[in-house]
Amino acid sequence: MPIILRLDRVMADRKMSLNELSEKVGVANVNLSKMKTGKISAIRFSTLDAICRTLNCQPGDILEYRPYDADEK
Protein backbone atom coordinates (compact mmCIF):
# COMPACT_ATOMS: atom_id res chain seq x y z
CA MET A 1 0.00 0.00 0.00
CA PRO A 2 1.41 3.39 -0.91
CA ILE A 3 0.12 5.09 2.29
CA ILE A 4 2.48 4.65 5.24
CA LEU A 5 1.25 5.38 8.77
CA ARG A 6 3.73 7.11 11.09
CA LEU A 7 1.60 7.38 14.24
CA ASP A 8 4.11 5.37 16.27
CA ARG A 9 6.92 7.79 15.39
CA VAL A 10 4.89 10.89 16.27
CA MET A 11 3.75 9.32 19.54
CA ALA A 12 7.36 8.47 20.43
CA ASP A 13 8.46 12.04 19.63
CA ARG A 14 5.74 13.34 21.98
CA LYS A 15 6.48 10.65 24.60
CA MET A 16 2.83 9.64 24.62
CA SER A 17 1.63 6.12 25.29
CA LEU A 18 -1.13 4.37 23.40
CA ASN A 19 -3.31 4.39 26.52
CA GLU A 20 -2.83 8.13 27.04
CA LEU A 21 -3.60 8.92 23.39
CA SER A 22 -6.65 6.66 23.50
CA GLU A 23 -8.05 8.47 26.54
CA LYS A 24 -7.42 11.95 25.11
CA VAL A 25 -8.75 11.18 21.62
CA GLY A 26 -11.66 8.99 22.69
CA VAL A 27 -10.76 6.09 20.38
CA ALA A 28 -10.38 2.52 21.60
CA ASN A 29 -6.84 1.21 22.21
CA VAL A 30 -7.37 -1.60 19.74
CA ASN A 31 -8.24 0.83 16.94
CA LEU A 32 -5.23 3.05 17.63
CA SER A 33 -3.04 -0.04 17.81
CA LYS A 34 -4.23 -1.09 14.36
CA MET A 35 -3.46 2.40 13.11
CA LYS A 36 0.03 2.28 14.63
CA THR A 37 0.77 -0.99 12.87
CA GLY A 38 -0.77 0.09 9.56
CA LYS A 39 -3.54 -2.51 9.65
CA ILE A 40 -6.34 -0.13 8.72
CA SER A 41 -7.77 0.80 5.35
CA ALA A 42 -9.59 4.00 6.34
CA ILE A 43 -9.62 6.72 8.98
CA ARG A 44 -12.36 9.22 9.73
CA PHE A 45 -11.45 12.86 9.43
CA SER A 46 -12.85 13.45 12.91
CA THR A 47 -10.43 10.84 14.30
CA LEU A 48 -7.52 12.30 12.36
CA ASP A 49 -8.49 15.76 13.63
CA ALA A 50 -8.56 14.57 17.25
CA ILE A 51 -5.20 12.79 16.90
CA CYS A 52 -3.54 15.81 15.30
CA ARG A 53 -5.00 18.15 17.91
CA THR A 54 -3.82 15.91 20.76
CA LEU A 55 -0.34 15.32 19.33
CA ASN A 56 -0.01 18.90 18.06
CA CYS A 57 0.92 17.75 14.57
CA GLN A 58 -0.21 17.89 10.94
CA PRO A 59 -1.86 14.99 9.06
CA GLY A 60 1.29 14.80 6.94
CA ASP A 61 3.28 13.96 10.08
CA ILE A 62 1.17 10.82 10.48
CA LEU A 63 0.43 9.89 6.86
CA GLU A 64 3.06 9.46 4.16
CA TYR A 65 2.46 8.72 0.50
CA ARG A 66 4.99 6.44 -1.13
CA PRO A 67 4.15 5.57 -4.75
CA TYR A 68 4.47 2.01 -5.96
CA ASP A 69 7.52 1.07 -7.95
CA ALA A 70 6.72 -0.23 -11.43
CA ASP A 71 7.56 -3.78 -10.22
CA GLU A 72 5.23 -3.62 -7.17
CA LYS A 73 1.92 -3.20 -9.01
> Class of the 3-65 domain?
mainly alpha
Q: Given this model, what pLDDT does residue 44 score?
A: 94
Q: Indicate if the alpha-carbon torsion angle 8, 49, 64, 67 is positive or negative.
A: positive
Domain ranges within the chain, ordered by starting residue: 3-65
Q: State pTM to two decimals.
A: 0.85
b/e map 38-61, b = 16+ CB within 10 Å: eeeeebeeebeebbbebbebeeeb
* Local confidence pLDDT in tens for the 73 residues of the chain: 688 999 999 999 999 999 999 999 999 999 999 998 889 989 999 999 999 999 999 999 999 998 877 666 5
Q: What is the pLDDT of residue 72?
A: 60
